[in-house]
Structure 1
């Protein structure tokens, strides 16, 4: 039976038993209670692990020749390794918003990373995840889940302020987070907030600190209801700091001290993941679905002055973070369901973080939000490895470092296009607001290129001329999808 069938069967069974309860004995009433308990406990615990700026080639199971990630490799080897997994944007804030909502972050009005509060002429200071957005934790709470966020939030310009919604407003019962990066670095951070209260300096390294918090929350939460836990690591985003013993381990293998620190940073995340998984296993949390990925691709070395330890690897992919080429948003993906038999192995099926929300809804029996989603449920992938998405994946990132700011993947094919406004290339912009809305919406897509990603993972051969029929189909599809995305994109207007 598939997940939907199991869910419906459970509901029918409970209904029949409840009917008995009104005319039957105490024994029958206990049967109802037992049936309800069994059904509730069948809902999986759900754990989202999200790295920050981890490259496609940064795990040993994804080809890194030096970094050791034994715990994540074990999850991949005993679960599902996704070689075509995509984040929802090539930069942090929109990627997180897309993950939480199952919709393109453009629709939430989050187009680029969210800086701290500073009034900006493009209304960027207004940007935040708005109260009407429907999220994974809120959805799961509606069917009895208890919820927790530990790590990086980065979905509001006014963090820990009553002027904008905070994590608890989106369904997190417990939250322990920073606005953006751990500060002053991953070591001994001083900017964590726990449920609205500043924590102060914490000794240790961020990846281990947030796993400590997660374990403590698990040990102290009341009741036996299923849980949703989102663990958003700061690593390996700058400013990087790593344990000395791990740095010394990599120093003979690295080109320099800074690269050794990066390698050690990734392994420290792996060790933190290992501790968390061990806690699940030791405490018989044997119905726990774990999904692992990164918010976007790796940072470019020295793109800005503090990126002096950014030695992330895009693997075989073209581009880096902030690109609409593959390395901007194709990231390592791993799924492992502790205690549940699923499809196991490596798959090239195309999966996105947009798909988390509809998948978790199906697994938990939760009702989907009453709005159009861009993600699709991949429960079939968990069952038998068979998942072929219907919806294309589209990205419109107006601050892209590469020439073409719009990209779409459909099947094995990917098409990219530049944007022309008033006869010239659209300048890089951080935000859509009433001052540039007309410019962007009246612009047109030009300079298209086409790639077959199954045959050309590096996007090295433009097939727009040699595959003319496919190119025209993809070009037309992109025009439709991009128009739909623009029509639904949120425009920020300052209310004076």
Structure 2
């Protein structure tokens, strides 16, 4: 199957209102916006960490780790204290960010393993060709696009059997399937535009920023750009520069913790290099968004391979793989270099789902003609005010905590267990033809309700003390979950 041709057809259909022509030689869209449009469109950079906890930056309260560059982005831009990833684990979180849709709609429910055949059809899982993404949308209005870092949106990486980053709008990609291997130091599993690169000397965060800078240097046009920088850090297997490890050893419990602290600072230093480059080149119309794909990993959750996992949830309850706050409430920073915007700390509820519609409004791109779960937060940039109308809902069927489904709406968050015949649903990785009827028969039960404005740590269930609010939230919750489940993709082998 020629996924590039499929994407061309979809781009023409979905973004057909843009003035463009077809380049038959390369089978791609060539968009020709006028110079006035180009000058107004911001460059956009998304910086995404892997397993960075809510409390892992010094600007978000870490008492030891130094993150001076990110802290400066926060202090001169917008520090988002209510920013949410789209899932509490990597693959669905990334799919949700790229599409502006709950990852359940795309059929990505858990992290995507390799290609080993499994009875639950998990080996089939990938971001499908019909999904419209941020880079494809921005290309339709003249952007150059680049991905550097971790991909993790397909079970068959760098294969013609499934779509790859270039099939979703990335002009240039330099990526790994999942983690940097054998560790962040001297990784050997990067692929550049379909070609294996081999071992690269250095540390992953610095390597991918160097690639990003090289791509920017080699751009031969004045197109605005979209750059997604997806750090592997601080996900295991961790490796950090020895000088930074030595810096933290006097303040750490052990060497492994010092290596974790150093790992986070190494990302900060890489971010600093990129910002310095932007300033050096006077790229002063550049919007930067920084966040994490999910919360911090639990120490030793999968044995010695997680021995460096000293990430901090801060004041939040839970960790990665939880539907409590620490699973998907993550640091959020927005900074528009060269443009005056609202500046300061904001407690407005913002999600990675909101990036696609926000970038559409800023770039003049047409939104994909499909259900979106995100909303534009351009008003937050302009005035500091943003009040989302769409609830945020998560259905994570492999949750460590017992309540797999959660919804935030306004100041309140409601959570529930899924039961079939009065028994909790067992954890599962994928929704497929063998379990869809079972899951659709499950009922939401054992509800709890929290006022997150007053109780960020989810310590007091107010479902009984605030019965009217509880009934309103419960009714909305049941509607939202049913709609999400009805719209979730079911994987069928040989479909």
1:44 matched residue in structure 2:
42
Q: In the aligned structure 2, how far is the partner of 1:210 from the partner of 1:264?
A: 17
Distance (Å, rounded) in 2 between the aligned partners of 1:220 and 1:421: 57
Post-superposition offset of 1:38: 3.0
Separation in structure 2 between the aligned mates of residue 150 and residue 216 of structure 1, nearest angstrom: 11
Aligned partner of residue 84 in structure 1, secondary structure: strand
- Pairwise CA distance, 1:495: 1.1
Alignment equivalent of 1:273, drawn from 265, 271, 274:
271
Gaps in structure 2 of 5+ consecutive residues: 1-18, 20-32
Could you tell me how far apart the structure 1 residues matched to 2:348 and 2:420 are? 36
- Deviation at residue 421 of structure 1 after TM alignment: 1.5
Q: Could you tell me which residue of structure 2 aligns to residue 140 of structure 1? A: 138
1:432 aligns with 2:431: yes
Matched, 1:87 2:85: yes
Shift of 1:39: 2.6
In structure 2, the partner of 1:295 is: 293
For residue 308 of structure 1, what is the aligned residue in structure 2?
Answer: 307
Deviations 1:183-236 (A, max 9, x none): 000000000000000000000000000000000000001200000000000000
Match of 2:406 in 1: 407
Alignment counterpart, residue 57 of structure 1, candidates 50, 55, 58: 55
- Per-residue deviation, residues 296-328 of structure 1 (Å, max 9, x unmatched): 000000000200000000000000000000000
Give the whole-Å Cα distance in 2 for the aligned partners of 1:429 and 1:87. 21
Please tell me whether residue 204 in structure 1 is matched to residue 234 in structure 2: no
Are residue 491 (structure 1) and residue 467 (structure 2) matched? no
Quote the offset at 1:40 in angstroms: 1.2
- 1:37: Cα distance to partner? 1.6
Q: Deviations over 1:371-427 (max 9, x none)?
A: 010000000000010000000000000000001000000000000000002331000
Partner residue in 2 for 1:361: 360
Equivalent residue, structure 1, for 2:218: 220
CA separation in 2, counterparts of 1:430 and 1:344?
A: 40
Alignment of 1:67-466 (within 5 A): 67-305=65-303, 306-466=305-465
CA distance in 1, matches of 2:332, 2:420: 36
Deviation at 1:41, TM superposition (A): 1.5
Q: Which residue of 1 aligns with 2:30?
A: none
Taking the aligned partners of 1:266 and 1:307, their CA distance within structure 2 comes to 16
Return the alpha-carbon distance in structure 2 between the equivalents of residues 427 and 47 of structure 1. 39
C-alpha separation in 1, matches of 2:262 and 2:40: 38
Post-superposition Cα deviations, 1:15-69, rounded to whole Å, max 9, x if no partner, equal 9xxxxxxxxxxxxxxxxxxx93233121000000000000000000000000000
Give, in whole Å, the separation in 2 of the partners of 1:354 and 1:370. Answer: 16
Larger CA Rg, structure 1 vs 2: 1
Partner of 2:313, secondary structure, is coil
Q: What CA deviation, in whole Å up to 9, does each residue of 1:231-287 have, x standing for no partner?
A: 000000000000000000000010100000000000000000000011001001000
Aligned to 2:25: none
CA-to-aligned-CA distance 1:119-142 (integer Å, 9 cap, x gap)? 000000000000000000000000
Alpha-carbon deviations, 1:83-130, whole Å to 9, x = none? Answer: 000000000000000000000000000000000110000000000000
CA deviation map 1:163-184 (0-9, x unaligned): 0000000000000000000000
Q: Distance in 2 between matches of 1:299 and 1:350?
A: 23
What's the TM-score once normalised by structure 2's chain length? 0.93
Tell me, in whole angstroms, the C-alpha distance in 2 between the residues paired with 1:357 and 1:226: 16
| 1:327-386: CA deviation from partner (whole Å, max 9, x where unpaired) | 000000000000000000000000000000000000000000000100000000000100
What CA distance in whole angstroms lies between the structure 2 residues aligned with 1:54 and 1:43? 30
Q: Which runs of 4+ in 1 moved over 3 A?
A: none
- Once residues 372 and 453 of structure 1 are traced to their aligned partners in structure 2, the CA distance between those partners, rounded to angstroms, is 27
Classify the secondary structure of the residue corresponding to 1:271: helix
Local SS of the residue matching 1:223: coil
How many residue pairs align between the two structures? 463
User: What is the root-mean-square deviation of aligned Cα atoms in Å?
Assistant: 1.0
| 2:26 equivalent in structure 1 | none
Q: Within 2, Cα distance between the matches of 1:195 and 1:40?
A: 26
Three-state SS of the structure 1 residue aligned to 2:34 is helix
Query: Residues of 2 paired with 1:198 and 1:126: CA distance?
Result: 23
SS at match of 1:56: coil
**Aligned-partner Cα distance in 2 for 1:442–1:487:** 12
Question: Separation in 2 of the partners of 1:125 and 1:116?
Answer: 7
